[in-house]
Amino acid sequence: MAVTPAYQFDVPSPNDTYFTNGEKAVSVSAAPGGVAARTNYFLSTWADLEGGEYILRVFAVQASSWATSVSKNNPRVFFSTARDAAPQEATVSLPRGRQRIDILLSNVLATAGSCYVAFSLWRQGRMVYKSEAAPWVFDTVPLADAALLAPPNPKTLLPVFAVQPNWANPIIERLQYATEVLSSEADVEQRRSLRTTPRRSFEMSFSRHSEIRSRIDTFLGGIGRNKCMLPIWHEQYVLTATLTDTLSIADGTIAMREFRDGGFVIVMDRNPAVYEVLQISTANLTTGLITFTAAPAAPWPAGSRVMPLREARVSESGTLNNITDAAATASIRFEIEDSESAWFTPSWGNCSPVWGFTFDRGQQISVAHDRVTAYVVNDEYGPVDVYDLDQKTRLNLRGAITLIGRAATFGFRQFIDMARGRAVRFWMPSFTSDVQAVSAIGGTTLTIKSVGYADYMKTDQDYRGKVVVEYLDGNSPSYADVESVQRVDATTEQITLATGLPSALASQIARISFMMPVRFDQDLFELQHLVDGGAAVKTSVVTRTADVDGMLPIECAVTSKLYPIEMIDGIAPSFAITGGFTIKPWFEGIDSSMAITGGSVTTIVFHSTEMRDEAVDASMLITGGTIVPVVFHSTEMRDEAVDASLIITGGAVSRTLIQQTQPAEAVDASMVITGGAIT
């Protein structure tokens, strides 16, 4: 026979008294009786279960065997009923997640008769499933996985807690990573992540009266530790027009919001009892267009709010503080289920792997010095002995951050997810003016006011091995590794650098700091969401300096465009570049080696108010191609701002224009042209 949907009818007397919660008899016939003699039937469906021990209350006619599996090919029998057995109850153990439930239902009589089963599934005193025909199907042979009907999404069956929090207090989001850190006596660390994604929770306060106070009371008493659907209040979007089966978020923020394919949203106004849950079919992160699986049933007007929904449970016993007989306050902590998928890709941001966030200077940035390799022997009577073989100091930096706007908040989430709590190291500036230049800087030496480095830093410290120069005009910082520090005289010291710094006057420098290899010294991050519609977050971080060995180099993507930046490995031959444009290129800001064969480079424009040393350092091999036109436009070009070596065979460079105020050797070009022309 063909695969057939199961039938259902009321449980026949006298066994109906055993099933009083709406259970139906699931049958292979539309009514009792009429089922062929000595025939086996296979009933199957998919089920989403939390896993663990369940109480199964069942009555089967005539006999049954029950099995569970993740596919047709690996069934595990977990229960069976004998012929003519009375209704019974049994404890069964079922795995977690989506699985097949298969029931082998048999009419063992020699004549036609009935063949059905009625049951309910209970967990911790709560009924989690009752028998009904849909979505069960049956056949006289085992069913293939593809023949089974998909069960309803279990999230659609969960209650929604739609009471708006009290924004007089922030919503606290907690992200809990898990890192195992193994340290040696020399403080060499081995770190590993024990969890791929952080555990996420929200704590929010409520201040409500009348029926909404009663709703909170009912929720806490009824839900217990069971699952519910929780709106992400700080992600709400206010409708600007009546909602249809699509929603356009055209402000360019959708990629930074939690609207994703297959996710659920709640649409509501102010009344927590009046809302609608919709499922997202597709969310276009480029255009901002969200398409729902179905149009809303109600005409939600402009001003209504749309928020993502997440599967959650109350993680601790909620406390309701009744101020009067009708008013109360409450604080509830919700834990987001681990099964909720990540909605963004981790990223270091524009510079990898560099901390790019600013601390709140309204609060102090504290730095603790810890000599982790020093051991002190003090018996209180004899001399004090100190053993410090590795001479290694660790700094613990603690500071507060205020993130304004979705880009900053989203970037912070991406960054800490890239670091995975304490697991992965990154570079961070000290945020202090560590050295003070006595004159203009430039090249591989840096003369500074004496601060005692030559006197006190007798051993290399990793957190003092790289300097960063920040500029008042907002140009990109310059980084250089420290090779050595020497005393010049009583008032000055000289730092020798591995790579040269660009020329700059002392009056142009905002700060010279040290870049420190660090890791987070915390696995738990707290984000205080201050507002409901926009993005304003307060948080704090604690970092600890780490070994520099194996640290990734600092790499920054330079662009005049907004995020996101897509990094590419190279440019294939036979290509065309149209309309290149850069603002304030720094030394070696454009460092390219290109081989162009049979291609063209059209309208390259380097336009800058100031081009630093070797801002354009290009080595190009062009065969049978053309560069038309090339324009270098600048109001000031530093020494060797354009250092180009071109080999052109059978091609042409037309209308090369260099317009600037330039010192000697601003353009240092060595060109070999064969069979081509410069016009």
pLDDT at 38: 92
Average pLDDT, stretch 171-192?
A: 91
pLDDT at 558: 52
Give the confidence band of 96 by pLDDT, cuts at 50, 70, 90.
confident
- DSSP code string of 308-320: EEEEEEE-S--EE
Give the confidence band of 83 by pLDDT, cuts at 50, 70, 90.
confident
Q: What is the pLDDT of residues 420-466, one digit of tens each?
A: 999 999 999 999 999 999 999 999 999 999 999 888 888 889 999 99
- DSSP code string of 495-522: EEEEEEEEEE-GGGEEEEEEEEEEEES-
Q: What is the pLDDT of residues 525-566, one digit of tens each?
A: 999 999 987 789 999 999 999 999 999 999 886 544 333 333
Question: CA geometry: angle at 199 spanning 194 and 200, to 5°?
Answer: 160
Helix, strand or coil for residue 593?
Answer: strand
- Is the pLDDT reported for residue 35 higher than 90? yes
Average pLDDT, stretch 78-84?
A: 91
CB 12 within 8 A of CB 32: yes
- Is the pLDDT reported for residue 240 higher than 80? yes
Closest CA to 676 of 639, 627, 612, 633: 627
Which of 314-323, 420-429, 490-499 shows the lowest per-residue confidence on average (mean pLDDT)? 314-323
In order of 223, 469, 558, 651, the CA distances from 349 in angstroms are 41, 20, 12, 40
pLDDT at 388: 80
- Is the pLDDT reported for residue 323 higher than 90? yes
- Is the pLDDT reported for residue 500 higher than 90? yes
Of 570 and 187, the one with more pLDDT:
187
Q: Of all residues in the chain, what percent carry a pLDDT higher than 70? A: 81
Asked if residue 663 has a cis previous peptide bond (ω within 30° of 0), the answer is: no
Average pLDDT, stretch 23-41?
A: 94
Give the confidence band of 283 by pLDDT, cuts at 50, 70, 90.
very high
Looking at this protein, which amino acid is placed at residue 201? Answer: S
- Is the pLDDT reported for residue 260 higher than 80? yes
Phi, psi of 146 (to 5 degrees): -65, -20
Give the confidence band of 599 by pLDDT, cuts at 50, 70, 90.
low
pLDDT at 640: 47
Give the confidence band of 652 by pLDDT, cuts at 50, 70, 90.
low
pLDDT at 647: 53
- Is the pLDDT reported for residue 198 higher than 60? yes
Which of 98-102, 271-275, 533-537, 650-654 shows the lowest per-residue confidence on average (mean pLDDT)? 650-654
pLDDT at 261: 93
- Is the pLDDT reported for residue 357 higher than 70? yes
- What are the structural domains of the chain? 4-152 (2.60.120.260), 171-336 (no CATH), 366-556 (no CATH), 576-678 (no CATH)
pLDDT at 365: 94
Average pLDDT, stretch 623-631?
A: 51
Give the confidence band of 641 by pLDDT, cuts at 50, 70, 90.
very low
